[in-house]
Amino acid sequence: MDRLRSKTREMLSLFLTKSLELDVQNTPEVDPGIEKKQLEKDNYHESVSTLYDESKKDLKEAEDPRTAVENESRQDQDSNTIWWDSDDDPENPMNWSSANKWANLGIISIITFIIPLASSMLAPGVEQVVAEFHVTNDLLGSLVVSTYVLGLAFGPLILAPLSEVYGRKIIYSISNVLYVIFTIACAVSSSMSMLIVWRFLAGCVGSAPMSIGGGTIADMFPLQQRGRALSIYILGSVLEMDILVVGHHGRSSRHSPDNLPERILRGDHSIPENAPTTERNKQHKLRSRLDTDIPPRTVLVQAIVRPTKMSLFSPISILLSVVSAYMYGIYYLVLTTFPLVFQTQYGFSVGITGLSYTGIGVGNSLGLLIFSLTSDRYIQYRLSRNKMRPEDRLPPLLISGPLFAVGLFWYGWAAQEKVHWAVPIVGSTFVGLGINLCFMSVMGYLVDAFTKYAASALAANTMLRSVGGGLLPLAGKKMYHSLHFGWGNSLLGFLTLAFTPALVLLYLYGERVRIRYPIEL
């Protein structure tokens, strides 16, 4: 539309200028330059005709939401972007075979499975860690879980923009190697402080698939297939709640029940050679043909500050990050209460406590299934009516808050009244359902709205979300000590519901906000 407005203004300016010239020079005398004037007049009409034809073409393209989304994405490109040779360029990940795309996505999903597994699988064994290191400060017990999540917050600020400059594969590969090293260090830690430091570093490098996975999906899959691709990508995170893994490893030996299994899984695979880094390779190959005024250092600096700019200056990114941070923090807070509720009040052993996460796992699976079955179909429906916009990924987000609040009410009051142990587990199903719908919807929206810089957009969101997930659980025990589980969870549930009106406004007017408050990336 900006291009259409520019050409309209150009047509009007050209028309007025030429009209004035023709009026002033309109005399009955025939001078020697009449042929030149006639030629200028003919060129004028030809220019107006050309502009009119191009404007009609632009208007037709602007009416097609698929073209609008593509043009908006291209306008977001910086001057250092290198385009593909043609629409059929085999090096473009969009043109890979379906088998190749899904194989790469499957590997990334496997890696993503391991990352949140390490963050939550230690929760049932925190008391063992505290006892082994003879720690009396309850805050350190919560911190040993939260510090990993804080690493997930700060890692994307560096890894995501680097992937946009140097490519995805090299970031995946290096982070895999460092993750193995740091988790081995966690397994052999001899003090609580050492364990906390190594878990933080493991979280930083382990954030790679969570922060750039969405960018990889944007590289490979068209708009109509991203919902299903995101579902496969998040499947690994959902599998972290597998009751056997959580339960049995929670009672395993020493203070690092999460380290050895994940180290083995993380080290046994790597991204294949045809991972989504072909654009970087093409840039390298064509650099000698281009004369760009942007030094590589400037490009790198711009990329690194991009997630921070989104976090500070994009109203859309700020709102979604705050909502995600709050819900993610409450989610982890609920996870940390499971050992207290089921071991203290219901007499579960450490190993059996892992089975109490069944409700959360079922809820996550339901959320994944619902998003997978509905998101792409709704996008295709909107495309068929020429009304598609990135905000069409947000309907699941609108119901995620109420579902999450219902789960908090149910779980909190059931735990406080000490009803049958199955009742709070069933209530936690809604917690898992709500957090998954929120996570999937926000990710899908950011990928569609910031296609080229999807990794940076997700990094900005991951940073604040992980900060919430790392810090809110630290205040959980004091809150529950004062308000108990019933009113404590009710307070959290009411705060969750308070976000719903803002999310409805985002769905209705998000497109206007993005146009009115653009951010230069």
pLDDT in tens, 42-91: 444 444 444 444 444 444 444 444 444 444 444 444 444 445 566 677 77
pLDDT for the residue numbered 85: 62
* 373 occurs within a structural domain: yes
* 134 occurs within a structural domain: yes
* 77 occurs within a structural domain: no
> What amino acid occupies position 245?
V
Q: Do residues 328 and 435 touch, judged by C-beta distance below 8 A? A: yes
Does 133 have pLDDT greater than 60? yes
* 61 occurs within a structural domain: no
Q: Is 485 exposed, middle or buried (0-12, 13-18, 19+ CB in 10 A)?
A: buried
* 91 occurs within a structural domain: no
pLDDT for the residue numbered 294: 61
Report residue 9's pLDDT band, with 50, 70 and 90 as the boundaries: low
E strands, 41-123, in order: none
pLDDT for the residue numbered 426: 94
Query: Which has more confidence, 333 or 134?
Result: 333
pLDDT for the residue numbered 22: 43
* 232 occurs within a structural domain: yes
Q: Residues 107-128: pLDDT tens digits?
A: 888 888 777 777 667 766 777 8
Does 519 have pLDDT greater than 90? no
pLDDT for the residue numbered 233: 85
Does 320 have pLDDT greater than 90? yes
Residue 259's contacts (CB-CB under 8 Å, 6 or more residues apart) are: 118, 183, 184, 186, 187
Q: Do residues 252 and 129 touch, judged by C-beta distance below 8 A? A: no
Query: Which has more confidence, 13 or 242?
Result: 13
Report residue 403's pLDDT band, with 50, 70 and 90 as the boundaries: very high
- Give the structural domain span for 181: 109-268+295-516
DSSP letters of 394-449?
A: -HHHHHHHHHHHHHHHHHHHHHHTT--THHHHHHHHHHHHHHHHHHHHHHHHHHHH
- CA dist list (Å): 65 to 1, 88, 429: 12, 22, 37
Count of domains forming the chain: 1
* 453 occurs within a structural domain: yes
Question: Percent of the chain beyond pLDDT 90?
Answer: 20
Does 263 have pLDDT greater than 50? no
pLDDT for the residue numbered 408: 95
DSSP letters of 175-225?
A: HHHHHHHHHHHHHT--SHHHHHHHHHHHHHHHTHHHHHHHHHHHHH--GGG
Most distant pair of Cα atoms in the chain: their distance: 109
Q: Which residue has the tokens 């921070």?
A: 308
Residue 231 to residue 13: CA distance in whole angstroms = 51
* 34 occurs within a structural domain: no
Residue 41 to residue 73: CA distance in whole angstroms = 39
Query: Which has more confidence, 192 or 12?
Result: 192
- Token digits for 149? 């999540």
Residue 96 to residue 90: CA distance in whole angstroms = 7
Query: Which CATH number fits the domain that encloses residue 228?
Result: 1.20.1250.20
Which residue in 106, 111, 114 sits closest to 229, CA to CA?
A: 106
Question: Percent of the chain beyond pLDDT 70?
Answer: 70
Query: Which has more confidence, 485 or 474?
Result: 485
Enter the DSSP assignment of 92: S
pLDDT for the residue numbered 503: 93
Q: Residues 181-239: pLDDT tens digits?
A: 998 998 888 888 898 999 999 989 988 888 888 888 888 888 888 888 888 888 766 66
